[in-house]
């Protein structure tokens, strides 16, 4: 009888929400499902609690999916780039140019204005490079680390660009901690300090790093912090949300040399105020060379590469997943129109702009100048977030209670 009541109630509620323009947005995590299966929480209680989060008002939703034709393209194809936003303008630095022989490093800097929908060339970087990390403090963009030959030519360079004067300042203090030379790292600003985390200093084992270094632009000094407690990390994405740094996906080296490079789903969170780490709900789709942004208090993990030899063939993906820090849940949202990796992404206004990168994991020389614009939303009808619309989408809890998956 309880199951029948729950089924009928859920069907009527979901139908009502669609009718009034408030489509359901149930977030289903493995931890929640396990609790239901183990009868550790009552089915009706669970349903009532989740109904509190079920609907997103139509006025709060960002509509439109993805539009690759809405924004002007960069002046040239580039991948392995880094970017940041200052005063509502997006700045893209360096990378590797597909048209240059041998993937020569690029020192180009471009600024995108969403108001004018146009790119403007800015002062070139003193050191051409890709695989670097970018972060801004008070209108100054710091480009840190990277690689300037597409082989083992790793850098500890730290160069500062003034967005107001369009000039590069004298070189800043380089990364001091061994191994100082590194690329494929992340740089995130929290309370006027830049946190450089992970990265790589070799393409061979054990080339991935667990370093955490903090840069203070006010004093031009570095401080080495305790390493990532969950292992080395590279080719990941990182964002700041509510004063904490989220490391998302990537790859790590495990086992004794030569070891194995694994694609990881884990999401590690660092609190600079307390120096503490914790782990939250992992990515449903483990991947590396992805991008990530924060929009409306949620994290969006965009594109990247699924798989890595010898376990599986790597594939560039269109997957976009959204993380809700309140519910500690991921859900799949509107996929990219074309898979991309080794690019960048930023938020301008209330829209996400994935920029550059490559569509072909087998040939890094094939870069793109394309810019997509979008506001990913849940796929209408795919309530249980399994990528398809089917009977289980009546309600994932109904499927569980009736013996389904």
What's the pLDDT tens digit per position in 33-62?
A: 444 444 444 433 443 344 334 434 333 445
| Whether residue 76 is found in the same domain as residue 23 | no
| Whether residue 39 is found in the same domain as residue 158 | no
Q: Higher pLDDT residue, 125 or 394?
A: 125
> Look-up: residue for tokens 């301008």?
348
Residue 93 inside a domain? The answer is yes
Residue 195 inside a domain? The answer is yes
Residue 298 inside a domain? The answer is yes
| Whether residue 47 is found in the same domain as residue 115 | no
| Number of compact structural domains in the chain | 2
Question: What does the CA dihedral 274, 277, 278, 281 come to, rounded to 10 degrees?
Answer: 120
177 — alpha (psi -120 to 50), left (phi > 0) or beta?
beta
Residue 381 inside a domain? The answer is no
* 266-299 tens-digit pLDDT: 999 999 999 999 999 999 999 999 999 999 999 9
- What pLDDT is stored for residue 189 in this prediction? 98
Residue 380 inside a domain? The answer is no
| Whether residue 165 is found in the same domain as residue 281 | yes
Residue 164 inside a domain? The answer is yes
Residue 132 inside a domain? The answer is yes
Domain of 10 in residue numbering reads as 2-61+386-401
pTM above 0.85, yes or no: no
Q: Quick one: what percent of the chain has pLDDT higher than 90?
A: 58
Residue 11 has pLDDT above 60, yes or no: no
Nearest to 346 by CA among 26, 33, 71, 12: 71
Please give the average per-residue pLDDT across 205-217, as a whole number.
89
Instruction: Name the strands in the sheet holding 212-216, side by side, starting at the edge strand that comes first in the sequence.
Output: 186-190, 193-197, 212-216, 221-225
């Amino acid at each position: 009888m309880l199951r029948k009541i729950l089924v009928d109630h859920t069907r009527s509620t979901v139908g009502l929400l669609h009718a009034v323009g408030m489509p359901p947005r149930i977030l289903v995590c493995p931890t929640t499902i396990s609790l239901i299966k183990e009868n550790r929480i009552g089915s009706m209680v669970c349903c009532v609690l989740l109904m509190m989060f079920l609907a997103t008002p139509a006025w709060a939703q960002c509509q439109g999916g993805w539009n690759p034709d809405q924004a002007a393209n960069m002046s040239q194809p580039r991948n392995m780039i880094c970017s940041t936003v200052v005063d509502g303008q997006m700045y893209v630095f360096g990378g590797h140019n597909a048209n240059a022989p041998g993937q020569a490093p690029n020192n180009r800097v471009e600024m995108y204005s969403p108001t004018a929908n146009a790119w403007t060339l800015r002062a070139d970087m003193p050191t051409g490079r890709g695989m670097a990390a970018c972060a801004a403090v008070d209108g100054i963009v710091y480009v840190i680390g990277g690689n300037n030959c597409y082989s083992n030519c790793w850098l500890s360079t730290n160069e500062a660009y003034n967005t107001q004067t369009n000039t590069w300042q004298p070189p800043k203090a380089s990364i001091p901690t061994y191994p100082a030379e590194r690329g494929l790292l992340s740089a995130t600003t929290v309370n006027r300090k830049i946190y450089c985390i992970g990265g790589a200093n070799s393409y061979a084992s054990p080339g991935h790093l667990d370093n955490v270094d903090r840069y203070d632009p006010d004093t031009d000094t570095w401080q080495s912090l305790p390493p990532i407690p969950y292992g080395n990390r590279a080719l990941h994405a990182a964002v700041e949300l509510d004063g904490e740094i989220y490391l998302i996906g990537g790859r790590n080296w495990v086992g004794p040399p030569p070891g194995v490079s694994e694609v990881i789903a884990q999401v590690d969170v660092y609190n600079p105020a307390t120096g503490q780490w914790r782990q939250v709900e992992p990515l449903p789709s483990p991947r590396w060379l992805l991008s990530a942004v924060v929009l409306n208090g949620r994290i969006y993990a965009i594109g990247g590469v699924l798989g890595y030899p010898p376990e599986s063939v790597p594939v560039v993906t269109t997957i976009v997943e959204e993380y809700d820090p309140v519910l500690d849940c991921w859900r799949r949202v509107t996929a990219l129109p074309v898979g991309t990796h080794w690019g960048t992404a930023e938020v301008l206004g209330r829209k996400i702009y994935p920029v550059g990168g490559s569509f072909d994991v087998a040939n890094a020389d094939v870069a793109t100048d394309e810019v997509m614009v979008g506001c990913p939303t849940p796929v209408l009808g795919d309530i249980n977030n399994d990528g398809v619309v089917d009977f289980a989408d009546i309600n994932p809890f109904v499927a569980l209670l009736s013996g389904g998956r």
